[in-house]
Amino acid sequence: MGWLSGQFIDIIEWLDDGQDTMVYRFERHNNEIKNGAKLVVRPGQAAVFVNEGSTSVADVFEPGTHELTTANLPILSTLMGWKHGFESPFKAEVYFFKTTKFTDLKWGTRAPITVECAGYGMFDLRANGSYVIQIADPAKFLTEKVGTDGNFEVDEISNDLREEILMNVSDHLGEMELNPAKLTGKMKDISEDLQAPLQEYFGTLGLEITRFRVGSISMPDDVRKELMEMSRLSAGKLANADPNAMQNLTALRASRAMGDLANNPGAGGVAGAGMGMGMGMMMGNQMGAAATSATQPAATQAAPPLPGAAAATGTEYTVAINDEKYGPYNLTHLQKMADDGSFKTDMLVWAKGMGAWTKAGEVPELSDLFGPPPLPGVADDGPPPLP
């Protein structure tokens, strides 16, 4: 009488009650599916029949209500050998698949990715983001990943997918010609470049990656600080656009290293002192080179004027005011500036024929513009009082 404990199943359906379940096997136990039973596949689901005791995928059903007969179970009917029609109950495994999207899946680098960048050498990056997947081919997903698992959840495959993502991210960032200052603006491009190769792997599992995003790429604090300092030093210009920016950066690095030695004088001993002197000399050379570059005229100088020709031709001078160049101005204009106090003897000037920037008070032609110097010990507060 053991057969009385079983019963025929006439409705097969899955009421999904979890957001993480990807595949659910219908609990048939020892019961047999009734001939003409109803299969209910709801929107966002797919159902797959598998021959009992086999891994062979039989029939796949899309959303809708289906009556199970020989007509709509052709593969299963053939596998079970019903040569004379589909009249008796049968046993088969039924797997339901959630075909909606699984969103907000996270990925992130566990270890830093070492990259190389011109002007900065090698340094480490960390990256993280999110991705969205869905089951595109239920039959393939069943054979490739699910097997006989009766309750397959997204956590069971997320680690495998994350490893594939990290491998692709590491390879892609390592091959890029990175500019650290522009990483933030490259997130969308990097995301789009990575989605296609990732889909090749996901497709072999019966999955589709519908969205892949790089949320952030972070760099070491010292590199980030240097970028900010470089931005200030070069007035917003990048190192490859400002010929003096790399010199400024080298001097800045040397200055920071000297500051570290000063804050920890016992750490380096004699070697540290020697290093500090070397860095000081290097910084001085770099700053001197930067200053020389800033004071040299950009254009090729013409031949110097003949003696006595300056007054005849009206020499014009460029004036440096607050590290900005103004002019060139002729002597008449400079006299007006000297009279109203906007042109002073300690301001640097340059004209064609001069080898370098020179203080205005040291140029013979300009020294007369400022009047006689004050008497020693007498404050230059204007003319003396009337008698």
Q: Which residue has the tokens 């059903």?
A: 61
pLDDT digits over 309-342, tens only? 344 347 899 999 888 888 888 988 888 888 888 8
- What pTM, to 2 d.p., does this model score? 0.56
CA torsion sign, 277 to 282 to 288 to 291?
A: negative
pLDDT confidence of 260, banded at 50, 70, 90? low
Q: What is the pLDDT of residue 234?
A: 58
pLDDT confidence of 173, banded at 50, 70, 90? confident
pLDDT digits over 183-220, tens only? 777 888 889 999 999 999 999 999 999 999 999 888 87
Q: Which two tokens stand for residue 345?
A: 């003897």
Q: What is the pLDDT of residue 384?
A: 54
Q: What is the pLDDT of residue 81?
A: 63
Q: What is the pLDDT of residue 253?
A: 59
Q: Report the mean per-residue pLDDT for the chain.
A: 75
Q: Domain map of the chain by residue range?
A: 2-98, 102-219, 222-294, 313-370
Helices and strands per DSSP (H, E), number in the chain: 10, 16
Between CA 73 and CA 83, with CA 79 as vertex, the angle to 5 degrees is 80
What is 102-219's CATH number? 3.30.479.30
Region 8-23: mean pLDDT is 86
pLDDT digits over 28-84, tens only? 777 788 878 899 999 999 999 887 766 667 789 999 999 887 777 777 767 666 554
Cα–Cα distances (Å) from 80 to 16, 51, 84, in that order, read 30, 8, 11
Q: What is the pLDDT of residue 123?
A: 78
Distance CA 233, CA 347 (A): 23
pLDDT confidence of 153, banded at 50, 70, 90? very high
Fold exhibited by the domain 313-370:
Dna Ligase; domain 1 (3.30.1490)
Q: What is the pLDDT of residue 4?
A: 43
Does the pLDDT of residue 297 top 90, yes or no? no
Region 94-119: mean pLDDT is 87
